[in-house]
Structure formats: C-alpha cells, structure tokens
A and B are shown apart, each in its own frame.
Chain A
Amino acid sequence: MYAWVTALSAWIIPALLAAILAAALVRRVPVYEAFVEGAKDGFGTAVAIIPHVVAMMVAISVFRASGALDLLVALCRPLTDALRVPGEILPLAFLRPLTGSGALSYMVDLFQTHGPDSLIGRMASTIQGSTDTTFYVLAVYFGAVGVTRARYALTVGLLADLAGIAAAIWITNRVFG
C-alpha cells in the first residue's frame, strides 16, 4: 500500500502535465506562447499577496513569541482534559489554522517525543492531513483579488477546522485507541 501511494504521488504531476500538453497538441494550441503568457501573471500575483501574508505572519509570529499561544492552551486545558483530549495535541490544534510550517514542525516534534505510531503521533498526523492553514489560505486567496471584507468566510473556515480537529481526535481514539 505504501509503495502504491508513493508511486501514485510520483506519477500524478507528470501525468497531469502530459495530459494537458497532449490535449494542447490535439487542439493545435501554440503551447510555448500560451505558457509564457500565463506564467507572466505569476510574479504579479505573488507580489500582490505580500501585504496580506506579511500582516498574518507578523500577528502569528508575535502571538507565539509573546507566550499568548501557551496561555491560550493553558486556559483551554480544563475543558480539553474533561473531554479526554491529550494535552500534547492541544498546541497543534491551535497552530494548525495559523501556520502551516509551525504546525508541521510541532508534529515532527511530537513524532520525535512519542513516535509516529503512538496514539498521539497518529492523532497529530490525522489532524495535519485533514485541515488546512485557514489564515494563510484566506490571506492568499482574498489577497490575490484585493478582497478585504471577508464576511463570514473566516468564521466558516475556523469552525470547519474545529470540526475537523474534533473528528480527527474522535476517529483516532476509536480506531487506534
């Protein structure tokens, strides 16, 4: 199964590229010109999201460095203890919507301390795989088109993260607990 999954992920992008180029060949699209024309937008888009991403990264970086994140974890501890959520998993649950790289490094930290095949290791893996970095996704996607009033999008994103994390904790407890 592992070999199958790695083979799939190795093949998927080359296969996608081949399919796009084959279709272009059939339709007689001037591929090089079309590619360059589309790729030109890459730089502008990346630059356009800088202010949004910088704003988010500074807030998140300050939030972690000041100890506010630790405080938030400590405040939630009684509630999560009552729900029998392992305390080690809690920082990950808070980091996940905020920072992709931060959550990933915390997961590696949990792997190192508890082992990837421990209950906590599997729980962390499931949380990591089943949610996304909501603040980053919002900054990038809305930043790219200049939308500043996100309406209910952030609320929905964060509540979906909460549901995903709760579901991840529940299902790993059930399957591996």
Chain B
Amino acid sequence: MISAIWLGMILVSIVVAAATGRLDAVNRAVFEGAKAGVSICIGLVGILAFWLGMMRIAERAGILRALARLLAPLVRRLFPDVPRDHPAMGYILSNMTANLLGLGNAATPMGIKAMEELQKLNPDPKTATPAMCTLLALNTASLTVVPTTVIALRAQMGSANPVDIVGTTLVATAIGTATAIVLDRWFRRRGK
C-alpha cells in the first residue's frame, strides 16, 4: 500500500512535470525533500533523547505500570492482543495522554517506545500487527483537546478570540478518532 502510493506519487509527478515543463522544479524538489527529511530527523534527536530519558525515569519509578493499571479497562478493549501487564500498555497510555494534551513533541517518543514494545510481541518483524495498526490509527486521527499551535498562530495573526475554534476542533477530532477506531475494528475483523 505505501509502496504503491509512493511509486504513484513520484511517477504521476514526473508525468505532470514533463507535460507542464516543470522538470527543473522536480530536480530541485528531490534535493529539497531529501534535505528536509534529514533535517527533520536530526532536529528530533534532542527532543527524542530528552523524552526517552524522562520516560526511562518514569518507567523505573513505576509510573508507567501504575498508569497502565489505572486505565487498563479502556485500553484493553482497544488492544485486546496485548497482555495486561505488558510495558507496551504504559507507553501507549503516555502516548495517548500526550496527544490529548496537544504535546506533539512529547507524544512522538512515547509512541515510538510503545511501537518498540509492540514489536517484541510481533511474530513477523517486517509486518505490522493489529495492535500497531490501532496505535497508528489513534495517532493519525490525533485526538486533541487543546490545539496549542493553532491557537498560538491565531493569536499572532490578530484573531479577536483565538480559542473560539476549540469547540469545533473537539467535535471534528472526536468524529475523526471514532472513525479511525471503527475502521480499525472493521479491518482487524476482516483479518487482512
């Protein structure tokens, strides 16, 4: 699926560029895209190191296990194939909490740790497990209560009431997340 979309995007782009005489723009875009990819990853090093460090402290202090136990009934339903006391549960919960609070930067390292723990339960390391797909679906739907970046930008651009979109955002994000969960269930049951 990713292969097909990736290939499709590049081939369609080349055809369109050739037809409209924009091949030089494509040449530049290849270099710019590659460079942007590396700078994004290198830019992540600091924040990843910091949060992974804090997460290790939280783990050793037993916070993740406590969190997992507290919210287990809810998360168990979403991730039925993850054992109850597995460390993945704690990371999944930290990831979901960080997303809810709109802490995008803090959510990513926790999501990555959750994926690593889920990978330990994976019989085929190259193929995503249903639990991994569920975690990804929750993250792409981005259940957010406080869209911090958007509010900050609105304030900066002279909005009279920068937070008046919190209500509509909440409704839209709830519908998006509900859709993600339902679709995830549906695909999971189809066993694809």
CB-defined interface of B155-192 with A at 8 Å, one 1/0 digit per residue? 10111111111111101110111011001100100001
Chain B contacts for A121, CB-based, 8 A: 154, 159
B72 interfacial by beta-carbon distance below 8 Å: no
Contact yes or no, A132 B140, CB < 8 A: yes
Interface membership of chain A positions 4-29, coded 1 if the CB is closer than 8 angstroms to chain B and 0 otherwise? 01101100110011011101101101
Query: How far, in whole Å, are A154 and B54 apart by their CA atoms in the complex?
Result: 30
**Chain B contact residues (Cβ within 8 angstroms of A): what range?**
35 or more
Interface 1/0 per residue, A131-146 and B, CB below 8 Å? 1111001101110111
B179 to A153, Cβ gap below 8 A? no
Could you tell me if B60 and A153 are in contact, using CB atoms closer than 8 angstroms? Answer: no
Contact B133 A156 (CB under 8 A): yes
B78 interface contact, C-beta 8 A:
no
Instruction: Choose one: A46, A50, A56, A60; the contact of B48 (CB below 8 Å).
Output: A46
A122 and B136 contacting across the interface, CB-CB below 8 Å: no
Name B47's closest neighbour in chain A (CB-CB): A42
In the complex, the answer to whether A153 meets B38 with C-beta atoms within 8 Å is no
Within 8 A of A (CB), among B1-40: 1-2, 5-6, 9-10, 12-14, 16-17, 20, 22, 25-26, 28-30, 32-34, 36-38, 40
Determine whether the beta carbon of A2 is less than 8 Å from that of B155: yes
Determine which of A17, A43, A66, A145 lies in contact with B115 in the assembled complex, contact meaning CB atoms within 8 Å. Answer: A145
Q: Given A153-B128, A160-B183, list of 14 further CB < 8 A pairs? A: A9-B148, A24-B61, A39-B49, A39-B52, A42-B46, A57-B33, A57-B40, A59-B6, A59-B13, A62-B14, A65-B28, A137-B136, A157-B137, A164-B172
Interface residues of B (CB under 8 A from A): 1-2, 5-6, 9-10, 12-14, 16-17, 20, 22, 25-26, 28-30, 32-34, 36-38, 40-42, 44-46, 48-50, 52-63, 101-103, 106, 108-109, 111-112, 115-116, 118-119, 122, 125-128, 132-133, 135-137, 139-142, 144, 146-151, 153-155, 157-169, 171-173, 175-177, 179-180, 183-184, 187, 192
Residues in chain A within 8 A of chain B (CB atoms): 1-2, 5-6, 8-9, 12-13, 16-17, 19-21, 23-24, 26-27, 29, 31, 34-43, 45-47, 49-50, 53-68, 71, 97, 104, 107-108, 111-112, 115-117, 121-122, 125-134, 137-138, 140-142, 144-157, 159-161, 163-165, 167-168, 171-172, 175-176
